[in-house]
Amino acid sequence: MSSLETVIQQVKTELMQKNQIREDTHESMRKATSLSKQAILLIHQKRFDDAEKMVANAKEKILSLQELAKQYPEIIYGGMLSAAFQEYSEANIFLMLIKEERFVTPTEIDVPSVDYVLGLADVIGEYRRLALDNLREGEVKKGEKCLEIMDQIFIQLLALDEAYMLVPGLRHKSDISRRIIESTRGDITLEVRRKSLEDELKRFDPVKRAIKRKPRKVKT
């Protein structure tokens, strides 16, 4: 029969092991989130090869976490893991839209559907940034294309209807997305009007210069 001291020592050893696993996994979660954020930044910088490498590194962290989750679900599953999945989903969705103009699926990147949807909602913010970059570069058509994708994502999120209850935080993100989209629509509308006015002025400018150059008739 084991003494109480032996039992407690065994319990302590087990708890210490779990605590170490918890610390290691939290570090992996933070790293996966950071890598995904860096990938998104690189996409905006048009450094797509580097972004792909960051996503691949994030994938390694995500896969290792998923393996640990099978053994220690009570340690792995929680807010930090969900945040890592969301950021990873956002990076993958954004990268695939830029590269192949298609939406990657939750199955392709092996993430829970709930975290995929929340990551998808965040892609709207990345497209606002992309739209503004395009407007600054004078690429109004590209800005309008960004707005189309933002609208497409938002409409599909609304199509979830009562499933909103099954995705904690989605309603809040959707409210933010609506404001982002309306702000972007306003920015693009102003730029379209400005460019139209600028083109109109350019059209009349040659006529104006021709009138100035026309010699006056001298009265005799």
150 near 126, Cβ under 8 Å?
A: no
C-alpha atoms less than 13 angstroms from C-alpha of 46 in its C-beta half-sphere: 3
What pLDDT does 34 receive?
96
Question: What average pLDDT does this structure show over 129-141?
Answer: 95
Question: Among residues 159, 156, 149, which one has the least CA distance to residue 181?
Answer: 149
pLDDT over 50 (residue 130): yes
Residue 98 in tokens: 């830029």
Percentage of the chain modeled with pLDDT above 70? 90
What pLDDT does 217 receive?
52
Type of residue at 132: L
What pLDDT does 215 receive?
54
| pTM > 0.85: yes or no | no
Q: What is the pLDDT of residues 173-197, one digit of tens each?
A: 999 999 999 999 999 999 999 888 8
* 34 CB neighbour count, 10 Å cutoff: 16
* Residue with the two structure tokens 């209850």: 165
Phi-psi region of 219 (alpha: psi -120 to 50; beta: other; left: phi over 0): beta
pLDDT over 60 (residue 210): no
Q: What is the pLDDT of residues 68-109, one digit of tens each?
A: 877 777 766 666 788 999 999 999 999 999 999 999 999 999
* 187 CB neighbour count, 10 Å cutoff: 16
- Rounded distance, CA 208 to CA 159, Å? 54
Domain 6-111 listed as CATH 1.20.58.2140: yes
Q: Do domains 6-111 and 112-200 have the same CATH topology?
A: yes
What pLDDT does 209 receive?
55
Residue ranges per structural domain of the chain: 6-111, 112-200
What pLDDT does 205 receive?
64
Mean pLDDT of the chain, nearest integer: 88
Mutual orientation of helices 140-158 and 113-136 as an angle, nearest 10°?
160
Q: Which CATH architecture has domain 112-200?
A: Up-down Bundle (1.20)
Residue 115 in tokens: 């975290």
